[in-house]
């Protein structure tokens, strides 16, 4: 029986805006997520008194976290990835003093995790920032946002220094290229230059958070978080192979800066070729030298790249505009399922950076059917996760250092891309539906028992 290394962290990952609800409770301010009711690719809709959106309640984790954490503990979790909602701490983003009620909420959450021996892994910003900073300052387009973020990061590091030793800066930082409002608080029609300038500010802020974390909590480790967007060449035509290399550079760029502390040459060339001129100060260059301790990433699928424009045209509108791989099956949402790709990606990242890796999201979004007796037989989810975890085990055998695995959405939550509840990832079912109906009751799916066995056997049951 092959098991995972001792101390491997097993668990799940959730994000504040997809689970908490309570979107104005205890002094919380509006975030970009609150004004994107249709999800991360959706339009901004200004809130008016009395309106409501699915995320306003989400799965009510804000109030139900003790019960949910007890269920995670029952599965044997040793780790839970959560995010802090920046707007609970600084409601508008630019206040001088934090909101005590927001800080107190996460104290209680971390205490509850500690009571169950579950290690928190905390993302500072998961697909949301204060809406006030977007409206008044232009989001990450404005250099001032770096200072606001640093103040927020220092505040939470100081407050939770004895409770949280594993941190992540920005969720899927490379997603800003596909969803600028969600990533950097810029309008979708922003130019590439504006988006990259905002990204530069965010990369500086990420590095300043790393520095602050090391100063304030010397025994903590802090990582980045990438959308692991591995792509393959559609054919072995050399032009396709090079196009795939360049496409992989679009996400590796973020990891390169965060791990190496400097902009890579291929990116400087791309900026030159595309007449993009960024303002990068000496102070910024110095800040970027604070590099991360480990790399975390999400993995759901792979895609293909081709220089054939007819095929590319057809792919427009697919998730991330990728050309489908003819050798892979897709989920109900068109995400191509590729367990071996996870082993490849782990090896690629390890070869490139030689830093520990943490898989902080992976999972299958699917519609679940509740049987007459209340059971949910989600064998499709078990198969997906089992196949991926077998490949993680292979990568570890390949010599890759993997710190842990937190599957995405261990409890059903609101999906990010389209703000749906019918796209479910959980081991725990939540009785709530796209139209807002449902009791919010929790129940165990078949996969709950499967994951419990995986964790209890440290991967030996796979």
Catalytic residues: 172, 361
Contact call for residue 298 and ligand BG6 (CB under 6 A): yes
* Binding piece for ligand BG6, criterion CB under 6 A, among 74-82, 203-211, 241-249, 414-422: 414-422
- Ramachandran quadrant class, 396 (left: phi over 0; alpha: psi -120 to 50; beta: rest): alpha
Contact call for residue 415 and ligand BG6 (CB under 6 A): yes
Contact call for residue 127 and ligand BG6 (CB under 6 A): yes
Residues 349 to 368 in contact with ligand BG6, rule: CB under 6 A: 361, 365
Return d(Cα 232, Cα 229) in angstroms, integer. Answer: 10
Query: Residue 101: enclosing H or E segment and its boundaries?
Result: helix 100-115
Contact call for residue 112 and ligand BG6 (CB under 6 A): no
Contact call for residue 169 and ligand BG6 (CB under 6 A): no
Distance in Å, CB of 361 to ligand BG6, minimum: 6
Distance in Å, CB of 408 to ligand BG6, minimum: 5
Distance in Å, CB of 421 to ligand BG6, minimum: 10
| Cβ atoms of residues 66 and 105 within 8 Å | no
Q: Enter the DSSP assignment of 336.
A: B
Residues 172 to 231 in contact with ligand BG6, rule: CB under 6 A: 172, 227
**Which of 227, 304 has the CB closer to ligand BG6?**
227
Per-residue mark of binding to ligand BG6, 394-413 (x: CB under 6 A): --------------x-----
- Which residue has 């220094």 as its token pair? 161
Return d(Cα 109, Cα 98) in angstroms, integer. Answer: 18
Q: Find residue 167's DSSP bridge partners.
A: 122, 222
Distance in Å, CB of 16 to ligand BG6, minimum: 10
Q: SS3 for 87-98, per residue?
A: HHHCCCCCCCCC
Binding residues for ligand BG6, rule CB under 6 A, total 14
Residues 315 to 354 in contact with ligand BG6, rule: CB under 6 A: none
Contact call for residue 34 and ligand BG6 (CB under 6 A): no
Three-class secondary structure of residue 130 per DSSP? strand
**Which of 233, 409 has the CB closer to ligand BG6?**
409
**β 119-125/294-298 pair status:** unpaired
Per-residue mark of binding to ligand BG6, 228-267 (x: CB under 6 A): ----------------------------------------
Distance in Å, CB of 6 to ligand BG6, minimum: 29
**Which of 18, 176 has the CB closer to ligand BG6?**
18
**Which of 59, 234 has the CB closer to ligand BG6?**
59
Distance in Å, CB of 171 to ligand BG6, minimum: 5
Contact call for residue 423 and ligand BG6 (CB under 6 A): yes
CB under 8 Å, gap of 24 or more: what pairs does 70-75 form?
A: 70/116, 71/411, 71/428, 71/442, 71/444, 71/448, 72/11, 72/12, 72/116, 72/118, 72/410, 72/411, 73/116, 73/117, 73/118, 74/452, 75/410, 75/427, 75/448, 75/451, 75/452, 75/455
| Cβ atoms of residues 20 and 411 within 8 Å | no
Return d(Cα 411, Cα 253) in angstroms, integer. Answer: 32
Contact call for residue 417 and ligand BG6 (CB under 6 A): yes
Distance in Å, CB of 309 to ligand BG6, minimum: 28
Residue 234 tokens read as: 């559609």
Contact call for residue 171 and ligand BG6 (CB under 6 A): yes
**Which of 76, 223 has the CB closer to ligand BG6?**
223
Return d(Cα 452, Cα 446) in angstroms, integer. Answer: 10
| Cα distances (angstroms) measured from residue 238 to each of 213, 230, 266 | 44, 18, 18
Residues that bind ligand BG6 (CB under 6 A): 15, 18, 127, 171-172, 227, 298, 361, 365, 408, 415-417, 423
């Amino acid at each position: 029986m092959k098991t995972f290394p001792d101390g491997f962290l097993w668990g799940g990952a959730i994000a504040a805006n997809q689970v908490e609800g309570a979107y104005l409770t205890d002094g919380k301010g509006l975030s970009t997520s609150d004004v994107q009711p249709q999800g991360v690719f959706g339009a901004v809709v200004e809130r008016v008194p009395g309106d409501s959106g699915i995320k306003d309640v989400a799965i009510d984790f804000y109030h139900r976290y003790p019960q949910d954490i007890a269920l995670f503990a029952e599965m044997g979790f040793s780790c839970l990835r959560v995010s802090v909602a920046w707007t609970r701490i600084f409601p508008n983003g630019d206040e001088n003093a934090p909101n005590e009620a927001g800080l107190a909420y996460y104290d209680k959450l971390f205490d509850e995790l500690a009571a169950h021996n579950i290690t928190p892994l905390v993302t500072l910003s998961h697909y949301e920032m204060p809406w006030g900073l977007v409206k008044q300052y232009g989001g990450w387009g404005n250099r001032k946002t770096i200072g606001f973020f640093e103040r927020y990061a220092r505040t939470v590091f100081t407050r939770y220094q004895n409770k949280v030793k594993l941190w992540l800066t920005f969720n899927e930082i490379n997603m800003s290229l596909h969803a600028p409002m969600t990533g950097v608080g810029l309008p979708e029609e922003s130019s590439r230059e504006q988006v990259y300038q905002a990204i530069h500010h965010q990369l500086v802020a990420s590095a300043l958070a790393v520095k602050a974390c090391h100063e304030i909590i010397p025994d903590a480790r802090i990582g980045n978080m990438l959308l692991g967007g591995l792509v393959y060449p559609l054919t072995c035509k050399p032009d396709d192979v090079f196009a795939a290399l360049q496409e992989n550079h679009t996400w590796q760029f973020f990891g390169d800066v965060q791990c190496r502390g400097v902009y890579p040459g291929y990116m400087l060339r791309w900026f030159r070729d595309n007449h993009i001129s960024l303002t990068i100060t000496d102070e910024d260059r110095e800040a970027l030298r604070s590099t991360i301790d480990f790399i975390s990433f999400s993995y759901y699928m792979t895609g293909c790249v081709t220089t054939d424009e007819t095929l590319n045209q057809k792919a427009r509108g697919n998730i991330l505009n990728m050309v489908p791989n003819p050798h892979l099956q897709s989920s109900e949402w068109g995400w191509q399922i590729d367990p071996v790709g996870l082993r490849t990606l782990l090896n690629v990242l390890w070869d490139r950076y030689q830093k520990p890796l943490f898989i902080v999201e992976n999972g299958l979004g699917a519609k679940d059917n509740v049987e007459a007796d209340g059971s949910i037989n989600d064998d499709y989810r078990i198969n997906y996760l089992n196949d991926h975890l077998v490949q993680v085990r292979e990568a570890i055998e390949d010599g890759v250092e993997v710190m842990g695995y937190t599957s995405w959405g261990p409890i059903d939550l609101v999906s990010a891309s389209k703000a749906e509840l019918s796209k479910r990832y959980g081991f725990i079912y939540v009785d709530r539906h796209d139209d807002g109906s449902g009791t919010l009751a929790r129940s165990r799916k078949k996969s709950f028992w499967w994951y419990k066995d995986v964790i209890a056997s440290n991967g030996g049951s796979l």
